A and B are shown apart, each in its own frame.
Chain A
Amino acid sequence: MGRKGRGGSAKAKLPSICFYCMREFQDETTLVAHQQARHFRCVECNRKLRTLSAMRHHLDGVHKVQLKRVPNAKEGHDDPNINCVGMDGAPAWFMHQLMAEHGDPAAKEALAAVAGAGAAAAAGVPVGVAVVDPVAAAVPGAAGAAPGAAALAPPGPGAAAAAPGGAPAGLPGAHGGMPVEVATAAAVAGPSGIRFVFTDEAMSPEEKRAMLPRYAKAGIAVRRDGLTA
Chain B
Amino acid sequence: MAAASAAGAGSRPGDVALAHPPKDGVTAVAFAPKDGSDGLLVSSWDSTLSLHTGSTGARLVSHAHAAPVLDCCWQTHTAALTASLDRGVRVVDFGSATSTATVLGYHGAGVRCVRWSQSHSCAVSAGWDGTVRVWDPRASKQVAELGLPSKAFGMDVCVDGVSSGAADAVVVACEGRRLVTLDLRDTSSAAEDREAALKHQLRCVAAMPGKPAGAAAWGNSGAPGVAIGSIEGRVSLEHLSPAVTGAASATPGFAFKCHRRDAGGDAGPVAHPVNAIAFNRRHGTFATGGGDGTVVLWDGGAKKRLGKPSAAFPTSVSALAFSHDSSLLAVAVSYAFEAGDIEHPPDAVVVRRLDDADIRPRAKKASA
User: Contact between B270 and A194 (Cβ–Cβ < 8 Å)?
Assistant: yes
- Cβ-based interface call for B87 (8 A): yes
Q: Which residue of B lies closest to A137 (CB)?
A: B176
Q: State the Cβ distance, B110 to closest chain A Cβ, in Å.
A: 6
Measured between alpha carbons, how far is A228 from B110 in the docked complex, in Å? 8
B303–A1 CB distance below 8 A = yes
Contact B203 A222 (CB under 8 A): no
Instruction: Report the separation of the CA atoms of residues A215 and B66 in the bound assembly, to the nearest whole angstrom.
Output: 11
Q: A190-B199, A198-B273, A209-B341 are in contact. List 17 more A-B contacts (CB 8 A).
A: A3-B252, A6-B253, A7-B196, A190-B200, A195-B267, A196-B271, A197-B271, A198-B231, A204-B175, A204-B203, A207-B128, A209-B25, A219-B86, A222-B85, A226-B128, A226-B151, A227-B128
Neighbouring A residues of B70 by C-beta, 8 Å: 206
Residue-wise interface mask of A (185-199) relative to B, using a CB-CB cutoff of 8 A (1 in contact, 0 not): 000001101111111
Asked if A217 CB lies within 8 Å of chain B CBs, one says: yes
Across the interface, B270 reaches (CB within 8 A) one of A10, A197, A202, namely A197
Q: Select from chain B the residue with minimum beta-carbon distance to A222.
A: B110
Q: Indicate with 1 or 0, residue by residue over B63-74, a CB within 8 angstroms of chain A CB atoms.
A: 000111010000
- How many of A's residues come within 8 Å of B, CB to CB? 41
CB of A177 within 8 Å of the partner chain: no
- Total residue contacts A-B, CB cutoff 8 A: 143
Tell which of B128, B129, B253, B291 has the most Cβ of chain A within 10 Å: B128
Contact of A195 among B195, B252, B270 (CB under 8 A): B270
A228/B236 in contact, CB under 8 A: no
- Whether B197 sits at the interface, judged by CB under 8 Å, is yes
Q: B108 on the interface (CB 8 Å rule)? A: yes
A227 to B256, CA, bound (A): 33
Given contacts A7-B196, A205-B336, A200 and B201 within 8 Å (CB-CB): yes
For B177, the closest partner residue in chain A by CB is A134
A190 to B203, CA, bound (A): 17
Return the chain A residue nearest B202 by Cβ. Answer: A204
